[in-house]
Amino acid sequence: MAIAACFAGSAFEALLGGIPSNEEKLRTASLIEGVGANGAGSALVGPGARAPKRAKLTVRVRSSPPDGFSNGAVGSSGRGVGVVSAVVTPSPSASPKSPLRGSPVDGKLHRPLMDGCRTVDRFRKLNRIDEGTYGVVYRARDTETDNIVALKQLKLNAAKSDEGFPIASLREINILTRLDHPHVVKLHEVVMGSSQHHIFMVFEYAEHELKTLLERHDFSVAEVKCLLRQLLEGVEYLHDSWVIHRDLKTSNVLLNNKGVLKVCDFGLARHYGEPSRKYTKTVVTLWYRAPELLLGLRAYTTKVDIWSVGCILAEMFLKRPLFCGKAELHQLSLIYQLTGVPTEETWPGYDSLPNRKSFDFKLSMPTWRMVLPEVGDLSDAGLELLRCMLTCCPSRRATAADAADHPYFDERPLPQDPSLMPSFHETNSVGRAKRCFRSPPPPGGAGLLQE
Protein backbone atom coordinates (compact mmCIF):
# COMPACT_ATOMS: atom_id res chain seq x y z
CA MET A 1 0.00 0.00 0.00
CA ALA A 2 1.46 3.34 -1.00
CA ILE A 3 1.53 6.15 1.53
CA ALA A 4 1.63 9.83 0.66
CA ALA A 5 4.31 11.57 2.73
CA CYS A 6 3.83 15.32 2.96
CA PHE A 7 6.32 17.43 4.88
CA ALA A 8 5.46 20.94 6.11
CA GLY A 9 5.50 22.87 9.40
CA SER A 10 5.37 20.93 12.64
CA ALA A 11 4.72 17.60 10.91
CA PHE A 12 8.07 17.90 9.10
CA GLU A 13 9.78 18.86 12.36
CA ALA A 14 8.23 15.85 14.08
CA LEU A 15 9.81 13.56 11.49
CA LEU A 16 13.15 15.22 12.16
CA GLY A 17 12.80 14.41 15.84
CA GLY A 18 10.80 17.37 17.14
CA ILE A 19 12.53 19.06 20.04
CA PRO A 20 16.34 19.46 20.00
CA SER A 21 18.72 18.22 22.65
CA ASN A 22 20.75 20.57 24.82
CA GLU A 23 23.65 20.64 22.36
CA GLU A 24 23.30 22.08 18.88
CA LYS A 25 23.04 19.33 16.30
CA LEU A 26 22.96 19.00 12.55
CA ARG A 27 20.12 16.77 11.47
CA THR A 28 19.96 15.38 7.97
CA ALA A 29 17.02 13.71 6.29
CA SER A 30 16.91 11.95 2.96
CA LEU A 31 13.85 13.34 1.23
CA ILE A 32 12.14 12.57 -2.01
CA GLU A 33 12.73 14.30 -5.35
CA GLY A 34 10.44 17.29 -5.57
CA VAL A 35 11.42 18.90 -2.27
CA GLY A 36 11.32 22.65 -2.71
CA ALA A 37 13.76 25.24 -1.46
CA ASN A 38 11.34 26.15 1.32
CA GLY A 39 11.64 22.69 2.86
CA ALA A 40 8.17 21.41 1.89
CA GLY A 41 7.26 18.73 -0.58
CA SER A 42 5.46 15.45 -1.11
CA ALA A 43 6.15 12.06 -2.58
CA LEU A 44 4.64 8.64 -2.92
CA VAL A 45 6.40 5.89 -1.02
CA GLY A 46 5.39 2.40 -0.03
CA PRO A 47 6.30 -1.26 -0.21
CA GLY A 48 5.24 -1.42 -3.83
CA ALA A 49 6.49 1.96 -4.97
CA ARG A 50 9.62 2.59 -6.97
CA ALA A 51 12.28 4.41 -4.98
CA PRO A 52 12.69 7.90 -6.46
CA LYS A 53 15.78 10.06 -6.40
CA ARG A 54 16.93 11.43 -3.10
CA ALA A 55 17.97 14.80 -1.80
CA LYS A 56 19.55 15.73 1.50
CA LEU A 57 18.06 18.47 3.64
CA THR A 58 20.49 19.86 6.22
CA VAL A 59 18.73 21.54 9.12
CA ARG A 60 20.41 23.40 11.98
CA VAL A 61 18.30 23.64 15.10
CA ARG A 62 18.61 25.84 18.17
CA SER A 63 20.81 24.69 21.02
CA SER A 64 18.41 25.74 23.82
CA PRO A 65 14.61 25.67 24.23
CA PRO A 66 13.07 28.50 22.20
CA ASP A 67 9.95 30.41 23.21
CA GLY A 68 7.65 27.90 21.57
CA PHE A 69 9.57 24.93 22.95
CA SER A 70 7.18 24.25 25.80
CA ASN A 71 4.43 23.54 23.27
CA GLY A 72 6.22 20.30 22.36
CA ALA A 73 6.92 18.84 18.95
CA VAL A 74 3.23 18.50 18.14
CA GLY A 75 1.07 20.97 19.99
CA SER A 76 -2.16 22.88 19.71
CA SER A 77 -0.30 25.91 18.47
CA GLY A 78 0.82 24.03 15.37
CA ARG A 79 4.39 25.27 15.84
CA GLY A 80 7.47 23.24 16.61
CA VAL A 81 11.08 24.18 17.03
CA GLY A 82 12.38 26.99 14.84
CA VAL A 83 14.61 26.18 11.87
CA VAL A 84 17.66 28.36 11.45
CA SER A 85 18.75 27.22 8.01
CA ALA A 86 17.79 24.61 5.44
CA VAL A 87 19.65 23.69 2.26
CA VAL A 88 18.74 20.94 -0.18
CA THR A 89 21.68 19.15 -1.77
CA PRO A 90 22.13 15.78 -3.50
CA SER A 91 22.74 13.01 -1.00
CA PRO A 92 25.22 10.31 -2.03
CA SER A 93 24.65 8.19 1.05
CA ALA A 94 22.58 7.92 4.21
CA SER A 95 23.70 7.93 7.80
CA PRO A 96 22.79 4.65 9.58
CA LYS A 97 22.34 6.48 12.87
CA SER A 98 19.51 8.71 11.73
CA PRO A 99 16.17 7.85 13.40
CA LEU A 100 14.46 8.35 10.04
CA ARG A 101 16.23 5.32 8.62
CA GLY A 102 15.29 2.80 11.25
CA SER A 103 17.73 0.36 12.78
CA PRO A 104 19.58 -2.31 10.81
CA VAL A 105 18.00 -5.16 12.80
CA ASP A 106 18.18 -7.52 9.83
CA GLY A 107 21.65 -6.52 8.66
CA LYS A 108 20.24 -4.30 5.93
CA LEU A 109 19.58 -0.62 6.38
CA HIS A 110 15.89 0.24 6.15
CA ARG A 111 15.00 3.79 5.08
CA PRO A 112 11.35 4.54 5.93
CA LEU A 113 11.24 7.74 3.87
CA MET A 114 12.63 5.89 0.87
CA ASP A 115 11.18 2.42 1.23
CA GLY A 116 8.00 3.18 3.15
CA CYS A 117 6.79 1.42 6.29
CA ARG A 118 7.35 -2.30 6.33
CA THR A 119 4.41 -4.63 6.70
CA VAL A 120 3.50 -6.36 9.94
CA ASP A 121 3.31 -9.65 8.02
CA ARG A 122 7.02 -10.19 8.61
CA PHE A 123 6.24 -10.65 12.34
CA ARG A 124 4.52 -13.74 13.73
CA LYS A 125 2.56 -13.15 16.94
CA LEU A 126 3.43 -15.65 19.66
CA ASN A 127 1.19 -14.52 22.50
CA ARG A 128 -0.63 -11.50 23.82
CA ILE A 129 1.20 -9.93 26.76
CA ASP A 130 -1.18 -7.23 27.97
CA GLU A 131 -3.66 -4.59 26.91
CA GLY A 132 -3.70 -0.95 27.97
CA THR A 133 -5.57 2.24 27.24
CA TYR A 134 -3.57 3.09 24.14
CA GLY A 135 -2.66 -0.29 22.70
CA VAL A 136 -2.37 -4.07 22.82
CA VAL A 137 1.10 -5.56 23.28
CA TYR A 138 2.12 -8.88 21.73
CA ARG A 139 5.22 -11.01 21.93
CA ALA A 140 6.24 -11.67 18.34
CA ARG A 141 8.99 -13.19 16.25
CA ASP A 142 10.64 -11.49 13.28
CA THR A 143 10.43 -14.16 10.59
CA GLU A 144 13.42 -12.71 8.71
CA THR A 145 15.87 -12.47 11.62
CA ASP A 146 14.27 -14.88 14.13
CA ASN A 147 14.55 -12.15 16.81
CA ILE A 148 11.87 -11.78 19.49
CA VAL A 149 10.28 -8.32 19.65
CA ALA A 150 7.40 -6.61 21.42
CA LEU A 151 4.67 -5.60 19.00
CA LYS A 152 2.31 -2.87 20.15
CA GLN A 153 -0.85 -2.38 18.10
CA LEU A 154 -2.11 1.17 18.55
CA LYS A 155 -5.75 1.68 19.45
CA LEU A 156 -6.76 4.18 16.82
CA ASN A 157 -10.13 5.25 18.13
CA ALA A 158 -9.91 8.04 15.59
CA ALA A 159 -10.44 5.44 12.86
CA LYS A 160 -14.17 5.86 13.49
CA SER A 161 -14.04 9.65 13.71
CA ASP A 162 -12.67 12.69 11.94
CA GLU A 163 -10.02 13.49 14.56
CA GLY A 164 -7.11 12.03 12.61
CA PHE A 165 -4.13 10.21 14.16
CA PRO A 166 -4.33 10.25 18.00
CA ILE A 167 -2.11 12.94 19.52
CA ALA A 168 -0.93 10.57 22.30
CA SER A 169 0.39 8.08 19.73
CA LEU A 170 2.01 10.85 17.71
CA ARG A 171 3.84 12.07 20.80
CA GLU A 172 4.90 8.58 21.79
CA ILE A 173 6.41 7.84 18.38
CA ASN A 174 8.04 11.25 18.10
CA ILE A 175 9.61 11.02 21.56
CA LEU A 176 10.81 7.42 21.30
CA THR A 177 12.52 7.93 17.93
CA ARG A 178 14.77 10.49 19.64
CA LEU A 179 15.59 8.62 22.83
CA ASP A 180 18.58 6.32 23.12
CA HIS A 181 19.49 5.09 26.60
CA PRO A 182 20.12 1.66 28.16
CA HIS A 183 17.25 2.16 30.62
CA VAL A 184 14.65 3.40 28.12
CA VAL A 185 12.90 0.87 25.88
CA LYS A 186 14.04 1.17 22.25
CA LEU A 187 11.59 1.66 19.40
CA HIS A 188 12.91 -0.17 16.33
CA GLU A 189 10.35 0.92 13.76
CA VAL A 190 6.67 1.46 12.95
CA VAL A 191 5.00 -1.04 10.62
CA MET A 192 1.66 -1.16 8.86
CA GLY A 193 -1.09 -3.75 8.89
CA SER A 194 -3.82 -4.45 6.35
CA SER A 195 -5.01 -0.83 6.32
CA GLN A 196 -3.93 2.64 7.39
CA HIS A 197 -5.81 2.11 10.66
CA HIS A 198 -3.68 -0.91 11.62
CA ILE A 199 -0.42 0.54 12.91
CA PHE A 200 2.13 -1.31 15.02
CA MET A 201 5.17 -0.15 16.97
CA VAL A 202 8.08 -2.61 17.10
CA PHE A 203 10.05 -2.49 20.37
CA GLU A 204 12.99 -4.33 21.79
CA TYR A 205 11.78 -7.22 23.90
CA ALA A 206 12.19 -7.59 27.67
CA GLU A 207 11.27 -10.83 29.39
CA HIS A 208 9.65 -9.39 32.50
CA GLU A 209 7.46 -6.66 33.89
CA LEU A 210 8.53 -5.40 37.30
CA LYS A 211 5.02 -5.60 38.74
CA THR A 212 4.80 -9.31 37.89
CA LEU A 213 8.20 -10.04 39.44
CA LEU A 214 7.25 -8.23 42.65
CA GLU A 215 4.26 -10.55 43.02
CA ARG A 216 6.42 -13.66 42.62
CA HIS A 217 9.85 -12.82 44.02
CA ASP A 218 11.27 -11.18 47.16
CA PHE A 219 14.12 -8.93 46.03
CA SER A 220 17.02 -8.43 48.42
CA VAL A 221 18.09 -4.94 49.48
CA ALA A 222 21.06 -5.04 47.08
CA GLU A 223 18.75 -6.03 44.23
CA VAL A 224 16.26 -3.28 45.09
CA LYS A 225 19.09 -0.75 45.04
CA CYS A 226 20.20 -2.04 41.65
CA LEU A 227 16.71 -1.65 40.20
CA LEU A 228 16.15 1.76 41.80
CA ARG A 229 19.45 3.18 40.55
CA GLN A 230 18.74 2.03 37.01
CA LEU A 231 15.25 3.54 37.19
CA LEU A 232 16.62 6.86 38.44
CA GLU A 233 19.26 6.91 35.71
CA GLY A 234 16.58 6.37 33.08
CA VAL A 235 14.33 9.07 34.53
CA GLU A 236 17.27 11.48 34.81
CA TYR A 237 18.02 10.91 31.11
CA LEU A 238 14.39 11.62 30.20
CA HIS A 239 14.37 14.88 32.14
CA ASP A 240 17.73 15.93 30.67
CA SER A 241 16.18 15.26 27.25
CA TRP A 242 13.26 17.58 28.06
CA VAL A 243 10.79 14.68 28.36
CA ILE A 244 8.36 14.14 31.21
CA HIS A 245 6.93 10.60 31.38
CA ARG A 246 3.75 11.22 33.41
CA ASP A 247 2.83 7.57 33.97
CA LEU A 248 5.63 5.82 35.85
CA LYS A 249 4.48 2.69 37.70
CA THR A 250 5.69 -0.86 38.21
CA SER A 251 3.70 -2.14 35.21
CA ASN A 252 5.55 0.38 32.99
CA VAL A 253 8.98 -0.82 34.09
CA LEU A 254 10.52 -3.81 32.30
CA LEU A 255 13.44 -6.07 33.20
CA ASN A 256 15.31 -8.38 30.85
CA ASN A 257 17.23 -11.53 31.72
CA LYS A 258 20.50 -9.57 31.74
CA GLY A 259 19.30 -7.58 34.73
CA VAL A 260 18.81 -4.39 32.73
CA LEU A 261 15.78 -2.25 33.60
CA LYS A 262 13.80 -0.41 30.90
CA VAL A 263 11.23 2.37 31.24
CA CYS A 264 8.38 1.85 28.76
CA ASP A 265 4.91 3.09 27.74
CA PHE A 266 5.26 6.73 26.70
CA GLY A 267 1.59 7.17 25.83
CA LEU A 268 1.23 10.06 28.30
CA ALA A 269 4.74 11.46 27.88
CA ARG A 270 5.43 14.84 26.33
CA HIS A 271 8.16 17.39 25.83
CA TYR A 272 8.34 20.24 28.29
CA GLY A 273 10.22 23.51 28.50
CA GLU A 274 11.30 26.32 30.76
CA PRO A 275 9.63 28.38 32.03
CA SER A 276 6.95 25.83 32.89
CA ARG A 277 3.57 26.14 31.21
CA LYS A 278 0.18 24.69 32.02
CA TYR A 279 -0.57 21.08 31.14
CA THR A 280 -3.55 18.84 31.73
CA LYS A 281 -3.77 17.57 35.31
CA THR A 282 -5.43 14.28 34.28
CA VAL A 283 -2.16 12.36 34.00
CA VAL A 284 -0.42 9.60 35.96
CA THR A 285 -2.26 6.53 37.21
CA LEU A 286 -4.12 7.42 40.44
CA TRP A 287 -2.03 5.31 42.83
CA TYR A 288 1.19 6.97 41.65
CA ARG A 289 -0.18 10.51 41.22
CA ALA A 290 1.56 13.38 43.02
CA PRO A 291 -0.45 15.54 45.47
CA GLU A 292 -0.05 18.71 43.37
CA LEU A 293 -1.94 16.96 40.56
CA LEU A 294 -4.67 15.85 42.95
CA LEU A 295 -4.99 19.46 44.10
CA GLY A 296 -5.47 20.71 40.56
CA LEU A 297 -2.07 22.27 39.80
CA ARG A 298 -1.53 22.48 36.03
CA ALA A 299 1.87 24.22 35.92
CA TYR A 300 3.66 21.14 37.23
CA THR A 301 7.21 19.98 36.59
CA THR A 302 9.25 16.79 36.27
CA LYS A 303 8.81 16.33 40.02
CA VAL A 304 5.56 14.41 39.30
CA ASP A 305 7.79 11.63 37.91
CA ILE A 306 9.93 11.65 41.06
CA TRP A 307 6.83 11.13 43.22
CA SER A 308 5.96 8.08 41.11
CA VAL A 309 9.50 6.70 41.55
CA GLY A 310 9.10 7.08 45.32
CA CYS A 311 5.87 5.08 45.16
CA ILE A 312 7.70 2.38 43.17
CA LEU A 313 10.50 2.20 45.76
CA ALA A 314 8.00 1.73 48.59
CA GLU A 315 6.18 -0.93 46.57
CA MET A 316 9.40 -2.92 46.13
CA PHE A 317 9.72 -3.18 49.92
CA LEU A 318 6.03 -3.54 50.83
CA LYS A 319 5.21 -5.98 47.98
CA ARG A 320 2.05 -3.95 47.43
CA PRO A 321 1.22 -0.42 46.20
CA LEU A 322 1.81 2.26 48.82
CA PHE A 323 -1.38 4.26 48.16
CA CYS A 324 -4.40 2.32 46.87
CA GLY A 325 -6.90 5.14 46.68
CA LYS A 326 -10.38 4.59 45.27
CA ALA A 327 -10.86 8.21 44.24
CA GLU A 328 -8.84 11.43 44.30
CA LEU A 329 -10.06 12.46 47.77
CA HIS A 330 -9.31 9.01 49.19
CA GLN A 331 -5.89 9.01 47.51
CA LEU A 332 -5.03 12.38 49.01
CA SER A 333 -6.12 11.25 52.48
CA LEU A 334 -3.87 8.16 52.24
CA ILE A 335 -0.94 10.37 51.27
CA TYR A 336 -1.50 12.73 54.20
CA GLN A 337 -1.78 9.80 56.61
CA LEU A 338 1.84 8.99 55.71
CA THR A 339 3.39 12.41 55.16
CA GLY A 340 1.24 14.54 57.43
CA VAL A 341 -1.07 17.32 56.25
CA PRO A 342 0.93 20.15 54.59
CA THR A 343 0.75 23.74 55.74
CA GLU A 344 1.68 27.03 54.11
CA GLU A 345 5.05 26.77 55.88
CA THR A 346 5.88 23.25 54.67
CA TRP A 347 4.41 23.85 51.21
CA PRO A 348 4.54 27.53 50.13
CA GLY A 349 1.49 28.32 48.02
CA TYR A 350 -0.48 25.35 49.38
CA ASP A 351 -3.52 27.40 50.39
CA SER A 352 -3.82 28.91 46.90
CA LEU A 353 -3.93 25.60 45.00
CA PRO A 354 -7.07 25.24 42.81
CA ASN A 355 -8.66 22.35 44.73
CA ARG A 356 -7.40 23.31 48.18
CA LYS A 357 -10.78 24.62 49.37
CA SER A 358 -12.50 21.45 48.16
CA PHE A 359 -10.59 19.32 50.68
CA ASP A 360 -10.55 19.92 54.41
CA PHE A 361 -8.06 17.84 56.39
CA LYS A 362 -7.20 18.13 60.04
CA LEU A 363 -3.53 18.61 60.81
CA SER A 364 -1.75 15.33 61.50
CA MET A 365 1.79 14.09 62.12
CA PRO A 366 3.78 11.91 59.69
CA THR A 367 3.63 8.15 60.25
CA TRP A 368 6.56 6.94 58.15
CA ARG A 369 7.77 4.23 60.48
CA MET A 370 4.25 3.02 61.22
CA VAL A 371 3.62 2.43 57.52
CA LEU A 372 7.19 1.28 56.82
CA PRO A 373 8.39 -0.46 59.99
CA GLU A 374 12.10 -1.04 60.42
CA VAL A 375 12.41 -4.77 59.92
CA GLY A 376 15.91 -4.78 58.48
CA ASP A 377 14.90 -4.07 54.87
CA LEU A 378 14.47 -0.30 54.65
CA SER A 379 17.22 1.40 56.62
CA ASP A 380 17.14 4.93 57.99
CA ALA A 381 19.07 6.14 54.93
CA GLY A 382 16.59 4.39 52.66
CA LEU A 383 13.68 5.96 54.49
CA GLU A 384 15.32 9.39 54.15
CA LEU A 385 15.64 8.84 50.39
CA LEU A 386 11.97 7.85 50.27
CA ARG A 387 11.01 11.00 52.17
CA CYS A 388 13.02 13.12 49.71
CA MET A 389 11.03 11.67 46.79
CA LEU A 390 7.67 11.72 48.57
CA THR A 391 7.85 15.31 49.79
CA CYS A 392 4.48 16.94 49.17
CA CYS A 393 5.96 20.31 48.18
CA PRO A 394 7.22 19.87 44.57
CA SER A 395 9.94 22.52 44.86
CA ARG A 396 11.42 20.69 47.86
CA ARG A 397 11.19 17.25 46.27
CA ALA A 398 14.44 15.65 45.10
CA THR A 399 15.46 15.54 41.47
CA ALA A 400 16.40 12.28 39.75
CA ALA A 401 20.08 13.26 39.84
CA ASP A 402 19.93 14.08 43.56
CA ALA A 403 18.18 10.79 44.33
CA ALA A 404 20.70 8.76 42.30
CA ASP A 405 23.57 10.31 44.32
CA HIS A 406 21.92 9.73 47.71
CA PRO A 407 24.13 8.18 50.45
CA TYR A 408 21.69 5.24 50.59
CA PHE A 409 23.49 3.73 47.61
CA ASP A 410 26.85 3.94 49.43
CA GLU A 411 25.77 2.02 52.53
CA ARG A 412 26.01 -1.74 52.67
CA PRO A 413 24.75 -3.83 51.08
CA LEU A 414 25.87 -2.04 47.92
CA PRO A 415 23.70 -2.18 44.79
CA GLN A 416 23.92 -5.50 42.99
CA ASP A 417 25.65 -5.52 39.62
CA PRO A 418 22.98 -5.92 36.90
CA SER A 419 24.83 -8.88 35.39
CA LEU A 420 24.52 -10.67 38.75
CA MET A 421 20.79 -10.10 39.14
CA PRO A 422 18.77 -13.33 39.46
CA SER A 423 17.22 -14.82 36.36
CA PHE A 424 13.59 -15.86 36.21
CA HIS A 425 11.38 -17.97 34.04
CA GLU A 426 10.12 -15.72 31.28
CA THR A 427 6.91 -14.05 32.46
CA ASN A 428 6.00 -12.19 29.26
CA SER A 429 5.67 -15.44 27.33
CA VAL A 430 2.13 -15.79 28.71
CA GLY A 431 -0.69 -13.31 29.15
CA ARG A 432 -1.23 -11.36 32.33
CA ALA A 433 -3.06 -13.29 35.03
CA LYS A 434 -5.54 -11.65 37.37
CA ARG A 435 -3.63 -9.68 39.97
CA CYS A 436 -4.29 -9.09 43.65
CA PHE A 437 -3.44 -5.40 43.21
CA ARG A 438 -4.44 -4.10 39.80
CA SER A 439 -3.91 -0.39 39.50
CA PRO A 440 -6.54 1.84 37.90
CA PRO A 441 -6.14 2.56 34.18
CA PRO A 442 -4.07 5.61 33.21
CA PRO A 443 -6.02 8.78 32.48
CA GLY A 444 -6.66 9.98 28.96
CA GLY A 445 -9.25 11.69 26.82
CA ALA A 446 -9.88 15.27 25.86
CA GLY A 447 -7.43 16.69 28.37
CA LEU A 448 -4.47 15.52 26.33
CA LEU A 449 -5.80 17.19 23.20
CA GLN A 450 -6.06 20.55 24.95
CA GLU A 451 -2.37 20.74 25.96
DSSP line for 187-234 = EEEEEE-SSTT-EEEEEE--SEEHHHHHHH----HHHHHHHHHHHHHH
On whether the CB atoms of residues 169 and 449 are closer than 8 A, the answer is no
The three-class DSSP label of residue 402 is helix
The whole-angstrom separation of Cα 72 and Cα 69 is 6
Nearest to 396 by CA among 331, 335, 345, 333: 345
Select which of 130, 180, 240, 247 is catalytic. Answer: 247
Nearest to 246 by CA among 263, 227, 223, 221: 263
The whole-angstrom separation of Cα 164 and Cα 413 is 52
On whether the CB atoms of residues 64 and 81 are closer than 8 A, the answer is no
Helix count (H) and strand count (E) of the chain?
Answer: 12, 15
How big, in percent rounded to 5, are the helix, strand and coil portions of the chain?
30, 20, 50
User: Beta 26-32 vs 54-61: how paired, if at all?
Assistant: antiparallel
Is 218 annotated as catalytic?
no
Helix residue ranges, H only, 109-216: 112-115, 167-176, 210-216
On whether the CB atoms of residues 175 and 138 are closer than 8 A, the answer is no
The whole-angstrom separation of Cα 121 and Cα 107 is 19
Q: What is the largest CA-CA distance in the chain?
A: 71
The three-class DSSP label of residue 278 is coil
The whole-angstrom separation of Cα 54 and Cα 92 is 8
Q: Which helix (H) or strand (E) holds 43?
A: strand 41-45
CA distances from 386 to 53, 244, 321, 367, 380 (A): 57, 20, 14, 13, 10
On whether the CB atoms of residues 169 and 127 are closer than 8 A, the answer is no
| Beta carbons within 10 angstroms of residue 206's beta carbon | 22
As annotated, the active-site residues are 247
